[in-house]
A and B are shown apart, each in its own frame.
Chain A
Amino acid sequence: MKTSIFAAGFCVIASMATAETPVLTVYTYDSFVSDWGPGPAVEKAFEATCGCDLQFVGTGDGAALLARIRLEGARTKADVVLGLDTNLTATAAETGLFAPSGISAKYDLPIAWDDATFVPYDWGYFAFVYDKTKLATPPADFKELAASDLKIVIQDPRSSTPGLGLLLWVKDAYGDQAPMIWEGLSDNIVTVTKGWSEAYGMFLEGEADMVLSYTTSPAYHLIAEQDDTKAAAPFAEGHYMQIEVAAKLAGTGQPELAEKFLQFMVSDEFQSIIPTTNWMYPAITPAEGLPDGFETLITPAKSLLVPAGQADALRDAALAEWLTALSK
């Protein structure tokens, strides 16, 4: 009884707040809303024009974000979800919780984008990052890496987005031969971590020669720390892509505001915040170009990406192979 009174009171206050200024609730992953992510700048810029209150809610990473939306179902408070990637969009679309975006833009992505629901806002390539002062000639592909005695740290695909990216990277590049590649790599892998932070921290501490990260990681060290010793190794097989997207919820009470936000997301203002806060490539290159330093990053010869519809089926098979190869 008390709870329902409490809940009722809560709703009254919540609706009073809505009456004053419309609130747009955006669910995203935790590092987006942190003080060092794009969240604060995006909020300020959007609120300056929308006459609304933009509220971010952060939760884990992309996969945790989708799990949260699925837990909440149709009653979710979210108007927009920002931070899913192409490995998750098919599953997300299947839930039927998302609505067509109504956004069209000229994206600067390495691939054509024609999804009506999910709007991309940034992207990057997975890559092995190394220290140039310690490793003069990095391996040129997975086979060379497997044959070398270099040590690498990777992330577990079951608990980490980059870890899943690597799984699909090897699978997409090698198909049926993927288990062989993993067996070859097994003596190079120092360890597998829960998330990106552990792995990257271990690499910086000197525990491994290379770490699975992004081609854009060296840009952080160069721009924020004036440290040009880090580089990403270009692999001949091509590099697997991560495209991060946002979408409008079908059940949103603020459909126009949500669409306005998605429109803002592909604008110059939002896009120019991305490179030095999320350390990814903006989906649309801003008019003034990329920040100084991004030109030093490697450009993969080939972009790999498993189509959204197939990612789900492929990842289960790939995970089973990965577990078998590394558990020996």
Chain B
Amino acid sequence: MADRAFKITPLIRAGFGAVLLLLALIIVPLAALLWRAETPAALGAADWAAVRFTLLQATLSAGISVGLAVPVARALARRQFVGRGLLITLLGAPFILPVIVAVLGLLAVFGRSGILSTILGWVGLPPVHIYGLHGVVLAHVFFNLPLATRLILQGWLAIPAERFRLAASLGFGPRDVARVLEYPMLRSTLPGAFMVIFLICMTSFAVVLALGGGPKSTTVELAIYQAFRFDFDLGRAALLAGLQFTMGAIAADVMLRVSVRSMMGGGLDRTVERWDATAGWRDALLLGAVALFLIVPLGMILMDGLPYVFSLPASVYQAAGRSLGVALVSMVISTGLALLLALLVVRLRRGAVLVESIGYITLAASPLVIGAGLFIVLFPLTDPVALALPVTALVNAVMSLPFALRTLVPAVREVENTYGRLADSLAMSGWVRMRLVMWPRLRRPLGFSAGLAAALSMGDLGVIALFSDPNGATLPLQMYRLMAAYRMDQAAGAAVLLLGMSLLLFWVFDRGGRADADV
């Protein structure tokens, strides 16, 4: 590929446009905040303590999530069983839950009066003490293990069936398959999965505070919140947000350099049949444990909310409709941006890592800072409240971009490596190349990214809280309002509605992408 000429096509130009848009969304809010700051910005000792804690918990959370996800993804990749599809879809659930709902679901299992403590009580043991660093990590693993599994599973599914067939005919055992086929794939998949989860955990705040047990679990995001809302120190908020971006950028850069591209070669896109999978009980045990870990808290959320789902006030359903609209728009923007960036990254000879990093560090953005910054910029021009929903859709799209990138970049690279020369020699370009070469092979990752973007946007409160319009609430905001009005039961119902809609959206697109890819 490297010897092919680099041509500036309209797609490449659009890719550069996407990069500029992202840079603007990162830089403009920070600059706006610094510009409006009333006092010179400085960081204190407490801020550095927050940085240390943030790095510690994010590293632990990402490490454990990814470490556990490898065997889970392998088990899912090499086993066929009833309910496998359902399990894979359910893997999307924890990740899209509003934080507060997930925390209550986890506490129903691991809390002081949760199921686990109750069972321990029967045998005379003290209740589980979930609050502390381990609680934070547990919650982050609950959120991110499924995501890590899905990201790594994508890698497994991208290994062409022909490799496994060849491996089988050469008499490879599981160990040989691992060495020759799976390790190289993991070398290229794991760093990215680790980084994405590291970035998510880095900006986590409400869950860290709730399960961390007190102010010793202060993250940078909480420090930003304090600077903005308690001290109204915009300069410090901007500095902290800048620091968070820097940490994110370093993480993204290191990971992208560490990750080694796998060279799998082409296949005929057939279904994978595995001859090397022995010792089925071990996979079954593992999958069972993971399913239990994920499904019991989800079940508690369902049990709490299900009785109220059908008796919610009309305004909650209206909010649900609004959220659906935001989610779909956000999905289109996110998938479009990701595809443009992926095509650009694969074509670029220099600066590919930089461009890809820019796509990722949006995850290190503080929604509060983006919201406040955009507010400062938009306010002199127009009524920011009137733009609440479009801004929410855009910011949500950018926030879910890294997941789409994580899935699309390797896929596009694979297609270009495998079919690029052939397509070039056939002088296929532009639309024809997209339709005949890319589309059939990108359907699966595109469907997954689109589903994830839509589902994430459904559940994300993001910037809407700063711009909210009383008559334009989204479903998550409406759920928080129910809670603030003591209506915890109805809020639980709204949470179930939110979960159901997000999962359905995810399933529809993910399924759409896989529709005939397996045939």
Write the residues of chain A forming the contact surface with B, with a CB cutoff of 8 angstroms: 3-4, 6-7, 10, 14, 30-31, 33-37, 39, 56-60, 63-64, 66-68, 70-72, 75, 77, 91, 151, 156-159, 164, 186, 189-194, 196-198, 200-202, 204-208, 217, 220-221, 224, 279, 319, 322-323, 326-327
Interface residue from A37, A186, A204 paired with B485 (Cβ < 8 Å): A37
Interface residue from B111, B211, B230, B487 paired with A158 (Cβ < 8 Å): B230
* Besides A191-B213, A192-B215, 8 new A-B residue pairs in contact (Cβ under 8 A), listed by A number: A36-B481, A58-B469, A156-B222, A158-B222, A158-B225, A158-B226, A197-B484, A207-B113
Most chain B CB within 10 A, of A57, A207, A279, is at A207
Q: Is the CB of B485 within 8 A of A36?
A: yes
Chain B residues within 8 Å of A198, by CB: 100, 103, 206, 210
User: Smallest CB-CB separation from B135: which chain A residue?
Assistant: A191
Chain B residues within 8 Å of A4, by CB: 381
Q: Is the CB of B222 within 8 A of A30?
A: no
**Alpha-carbon distance A4/B138, docked complex (angstroms):** 50
Query: With A34-B481, A197-B484, A206-B113 as given contacts, are A156 and B215 in contact (CB-CB < 8 Å)?
Result: yes
Query: With A151-B112, A156-B209 as given contacts, are A57 and B470 in contact (CB-CB < 8 Å)?
Result: yes
User: Smallest CB-CB separation from B111: which chain A residue?
Assistant: A207
Q: Is the CB of B468 within 8 A of A30?
A: yes
Interface residue from B131, B386, B466 paired with A59 (Cβ < 8 Å): B466
Q: Is the CB of A224 within 8 A of B470?
A: no
Query: With A71-B379, A190-B131, A191-B131 as given contacts, are A196 and B484 in contact (CB-CB < 8 Å)?
Result: yes
Nearest 6 A/B pairs, CB to CB: A36-B485, A206-B113, A34-B481, A197-B483, A33-B470, A158-B226
Q: B482 within 8 Å of A by Cβ?
A: yes
**Alpha-carbon distance A96/B318, docked complex (angstroms):** 40
Interface residue from B209, B230, B380, B470 paired with A56 (Cβ < 8 Å): B470
Query: With A190-B213, A194-B210 as given contacts, are A205 and B485 in contact (CB-CB < 8 Å)?
Result: no
Q: Is the CB of A30 within 8 A of B104?
A: no
CB distance from A30 to the nearest CB of B (A): 6
**30 A-B pairs with C-beta separation under 8 A:** A3-B381, A6-B381, A6-B382, A30-B465, A31-B484, A34-B485, A36-B481, A36-B482, A58-B469, A60-B466, A63-B230, A67-B232, A75-B380, A77-B383, A151-B112, A156-B209, A158-B229, A158-B230, A190-B213, A191-B131, A194-B205, A197-B484, A198-B210, A200-B486, A202-B111, A221-B486, A224-B486, A322-B215, A326-B216, A327-B216
Q: Is the CB of A202 within 8 A of B104?
A: yes
Interface residue from B206, B232, B469, B483 paired with A57 (Cβ < 8 Å): B469
Q: Is the CB of B112 within 8 A of A327?
A: no
**Alpha-carbon distance A204/B229, docked complex (angstroms):** 28
Chain A residues within 8 Å of B315, by CB: 35
Q: Is the CB of A7 within 8 A of B382?
A: yes
**Alpha-carbon distance A206/B113, docked complex (angstroms):** 6
Chain B residues within 8 Å of A207, by CB: 107, 111-113
CB distance from A157 to the nearest CB of B (A): 8
CB distance from B252 to the nearest CB of A (A): 27
Interface residue from A39, A60, A205 paired with B107 (Cβ < 8 Å): A205
Q: Is the CB of A202 within 8 A of B381?
A: no
Q: Is the CB of A279 within 8 A of B209?
A: no
Most chain B CB within 10 A, of A3, A191, A192, A200, is at A191
Chain B residues within 8 Å of A190, by CB: 112, 131, 213
Interface residue from A39, A71, A151 paired with B376 (Cβ < 8 Å): A71
Q: Is the CB of A10 within 8 A of B383?
A: yes
- Report the count of interface residues on B (CB-CB < 8 A): 58
Residue interface mask B207-234, A partner, CB < 8 A = 1: 0011111111000001001101110100
User: Smallest CB-CB separation from A14: which chain B residue?
Assistant: B383
User: Smallest CB-CB separation from B484: which chain A residue?
Assistant: A31
Q: Is the CB of A64 within 8 A of B485?
A: no
Q: B349 within 8 Å of A by Cβ?
A: no
**Alpha-carbon distance A201/B305, docked complex (angstroms):** 13
Q: B372 within 8 Å of A by Cβ?
A: yes
Q: Is the CB of B484 within 8 A of A194?
A: no
Query: With A60-B465, A194-B206 as given contacts, are A35 and B103 in contact (CB-CB < 8 Å)?
Result: no
Q: B46 within 8 Å of A by Cβ?
A: yes
**Alpha-carbon distance A10/B372, docked complex (angstroms):** 22
Q: Is the CB of A191 within 8 A of B466?
A: no
Query: With A30-B481, A60-B465 as given contacts, are A159 and B107 in contact (CB-CB < 8 Å)?
Result: no
Chain B residues within 8 Å of A197, by CB: 100, 480, 483-484
Q: B438 within 8 Å of A by Cβ?
A: no
CB distance from A60 to the nearest CB of B (A): 6
Q: Is the CB of A36 within 8 A of B468?
A: no
Chain A residues within 8 Å of B477, by CB: 30
Chain B residues within 8 Å of A326, by CB: 214-216
Chain A residues within 8 Å of B487, by CB: 36
Q: B313 within 8 Å of A by Cβ?
A: yes
Q: Is the CB of B229 within 8 A of A67?
A: yes
Chain A residues within 8 Å of B239, by CB: none
**Alpha-carbon distance A153/B113, docked complex (angstroms):** 14
Chain A residues within 8 Å of B376, by CB: 71
**Alpha-carbon distance A327/B216, docked complex (angstroms):** 5
CB distance from B311 to the nearest CB of A (A): 15
Chain B residues within 8 Å of A72, by CB: 379
Query: With A71-B36, A200-B486 as given contacts, are A35 and B481 in contact (CB-CB < 8 Å)?
Result: yes
Q: Is the CB of B382 within 8 A of A194?
A: no
**Alpha-carbon distance A207/B130, docked complex (angstroms):** 11
User: Smallest CB-CB separation from A63: which chain B residue?
Assistant: B229
CB distance from B496 to the nearest CB of A (A): 15
Q: B375 within 8 Å of A by Cβ?
A: yes
Chain A residues within 8 Å of B385, by CB: 57
